[in-house]
């Protein structure tokens, strides 16, 4: 038994180490699109890690090479796609062919089967709410094929080998998936912390200067209104409305900054999310009609949520208003809510068929003064993000240019134990 375990433990350490190193180079994210450069890097890292696994196979099994290289191929294909998985597969097959032996083509065929399994089930895996369970299902299906091939062509293997190797294989695969999912959560939390730190910085700056700016603006606005009442100056009469409009716009920016600066008086309690969403949609239907947009509401029965009703409604309406304004020449907005019972969450999605956003715009969404609209300050999105985060929720954006944008708001479900 020990002669089986020692190389497998070394293989496990190699896979764990390369998983952490890959995350250091390009941090793992669940929703960000993986660029070609990242796919190539992931493929090379996986291929090199798999090659190191091949240097420490189970010995005393003739010309066979039993190790965990297939795990590297399967995992990188599931998470990164065909390019990264293909690079790892080519790397591994070339090395295995170089090692030679009686069962070289059996080994190459098993490697290719891991790649095929990753490609075949990748879409299901990525859409799964609990990827560890999906990964277990995919690994077990691969096992059936793996064991069938091995039993047909390598007939001298004993039952104790099958028990130790495949049980350890399954455990390590699950451990790698669990590590990647944990790193994804950690990276998301780090991004949120950085974003909230930006909000705090803006708030501190706003608190120090907002009142000092607002006072002279109020005075200037009053004098303009006073002068335009009795003036005969045509230029002043012509441009005073524009001046007042710009002063009001400046005052609104300062007001938005103050909303970021001062702490909200939150009262976290049970919120009837269905009623709140219906009210939000009804309030904005006239604006949607004016923009020739149709709003469709889809509510799957679920628990209520924990939050502040007033601020949650403000956040949802801000997102919905942005969706309406993104539609040009007519379109549809789908507002949906569904439960996530496994994680104790309720998920609200607002999907539009608007102009969408590029990858660069998605990365900058929520930054101060960044907006894709011709008119706007960009602070509304920041305020929305802060409202959701202060309710222990999450907000994420996905978008494709000329296809639309999907905003996903995840809130804590209310239970009697909350």
The dihedral formed by the CA atoms of 21, 22, 26 and 31, expressed in degrees to the nearest 10: -130
Q: Record the pTM.
A: 0.73
Give pLDDT, residue 217: 83
State the Cα angle at 321 between 317 and 324, rounded to 5°.
140
- In a 13 Å sphere around the CA of 283, the CA atoms on its Cβ side amount to 13
Q: Give the sign of the dihedral formed by CA 153, CA 159, CA 161, CA 164.
A: positive
Altogether, the residues listed in the chain come to a count of 418
Give pLDDT, residue 336: 94
Give pLDDT, residue 121: 95
Q: Are strands 345-352 and 269-271 parallel, antiparallel or unpaired?
A: unpaired
- CA distances in angstroms from 6 to 58, 139, 190, 383, listed in the order given: 8, 22, 36, 55
More confident residue, 176 or 326: 176
| pLDDT band, very low/low/confident/very high, at 376 (cuts 50, 70, 90) | low
Task: Locate 407 and state its tokens.
Answer: 């905003």
Give the three-class secondary structure for 330. coil
Give pLDDT, residue 206: 65
Give pLDDT, residue 207: 63
Share of the chain above pLDDT 70, in %: 89
| pLDDT band, very low/low/confident/very high, at 399 (cuts 50, 70, 90) | confident
Query: Could you tell me the end-to-end alpha-carbon distance of the chain, in angstroms, rounded to an integer?
Result: 49
Give the three-class secondary structure for 336. strand
How far is Cα 213 from Cα 398, in angstroms, rounded to an integer?
37
Give pLDDT, residue 236: 76
Alpha-helical (H) ranges within 231-308 are 234-261, 273-290
pLDDT above 70 for 263: no
Phi, psi of 384, deg, nearest 5: -60, -45
pLDDT tens column, 157-183: 888 888 889 999 999 999 999 999 999
Alpha-helical (H) ranges within 55-158 are 69-80, 82-99, 104-127, 131-153
How far is Cα 253 from Cα 264, in angstroms, rounded to an integer?
18
Share of the chain above pLDDT 90, in %: 41
More confident residue, 367 or 332: 332
pLDDT tens column, 182-226: 999 899 888 877 776 766 676 666 666 666 777 788 888 887 887
More confident residue, 229 or 353: 353
How far is Cα 253 from Cα 13, in angstroms, rounded to an integer?
54
How far is Cα 363 from Cα 289, in angstroms, rounded to an integer?
30
Cβ atoms of residues 242 and 236 within 8 Å: no
More confident residue, 157 or 123: 123
Give pLDDT, residue 233: 78
- In this structure, the number of other CB atoms found within 10 A of the CB of residue 93 comes to 21
**293-299 β-sheet, strand order:** 293-299, 331-340, 345-352, 404-412, 394-400
pLDDT tens column, 270-325: 999 999 999 999 989 988 888 889 999 998 888 899 999 988 998 999 899 989 98
pLDDT above 80 for 372: no
pLDDT above 70 for 326: yes
pLDDT above 70 for 50: yes
| pLDDT band, very low/low/confident/very high, at 109 (cuts 50, 70, 90) | very high
Within 8 A by CB and 6+ apart from 16, the residues are: 175, 176, 179
Give pLDDT, residue 342: 82
| pLDDT band, very low/low/confident/very high, at 375 (cuts 50, 70, 90) | low
Task: Locate 177 and state its tokens.
Answer: 């998936």
């Amino acid at each position: 038994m020990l002669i089986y375990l020692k190389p497998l433990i070394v293989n496990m350490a190699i896979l764990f180490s390369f998983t952490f190193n890959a995350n250091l180079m390009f941090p793992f994210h669940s929703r960000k699109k993986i660029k070609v450069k990242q796919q190539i890097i992931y493929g090379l890292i996986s291929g090199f890690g798999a090659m190191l696994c091949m240097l420490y196979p189970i010995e005393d099994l003739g010309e066979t090479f039993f190790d965990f290289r297939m795990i590297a191929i399967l995992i990188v294909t599931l998470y990164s796609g065909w390019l990264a998985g293909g690079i790892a597969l080519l790397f591994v097959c070339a090395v295995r062919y170089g090692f030679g032996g009686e069962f070289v083509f059996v080994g190459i065929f098993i490697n290719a089967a891991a790649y095929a399994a990753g490609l075949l089930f990748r879409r299901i895996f990525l859409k799964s709410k609990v990827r560890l369970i999906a990964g277990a299902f995919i690994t077990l299906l691969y096992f059936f094929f793996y064991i069938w091939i091995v039993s047909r062509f390598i007939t001298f293997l004993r039952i104790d080998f099958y028990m130790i190797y495949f049980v350890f294989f399954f455990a390590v695969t699950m451990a790698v998936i669990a590590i990647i999912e944990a790193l994804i959560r950690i990276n998301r939390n780090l991004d949120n912390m950085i974003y909230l730190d930006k909000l705090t910085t803006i708030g501190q700056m706003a608190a120090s200067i907002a009142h000092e700016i607002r006072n002279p603006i109020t005075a200037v606005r009053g004098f303009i209104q006073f002068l335009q009442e009795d003036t005969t100056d045509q230029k002043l009469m012509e441009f005073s409305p524009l001046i007042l409009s710009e002063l009001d716009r400046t005052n609104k920016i300062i007001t938005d900054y103050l909303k970021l600066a001062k702490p909200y008086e939150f009262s976290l309690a049970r919120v009837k999310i269905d009623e709140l969403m219906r009210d939000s949609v009804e309030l904005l239907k006239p604006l949607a009609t004016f923009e020739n947009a149709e709003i469709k509401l889809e509510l799957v029965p679920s628990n209520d949520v924990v939050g502040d009703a007033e601020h949650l409604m403000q956040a949802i309406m801000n997102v919905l208003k942005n969706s309406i304004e993104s539609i040009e020449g007519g379109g549809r907005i789908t507002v949906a809510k569904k439960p996530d019972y496994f994680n104790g969450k309720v998920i609200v999605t607002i999907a539009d068929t608007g102009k969408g956003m590029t990858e660069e715009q998605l990365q900058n969404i929520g930054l101060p003064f960044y907006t894709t609209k011709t008119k706007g300050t960009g602070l509304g999105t920041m305020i929305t993000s802060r409202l959701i985060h202060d309710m222990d929720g999450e907000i994420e954006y996905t978008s494709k240019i000329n296809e639309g944008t999907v905003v996903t708001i995840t809130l804590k479900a209310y239970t009697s134990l909350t």
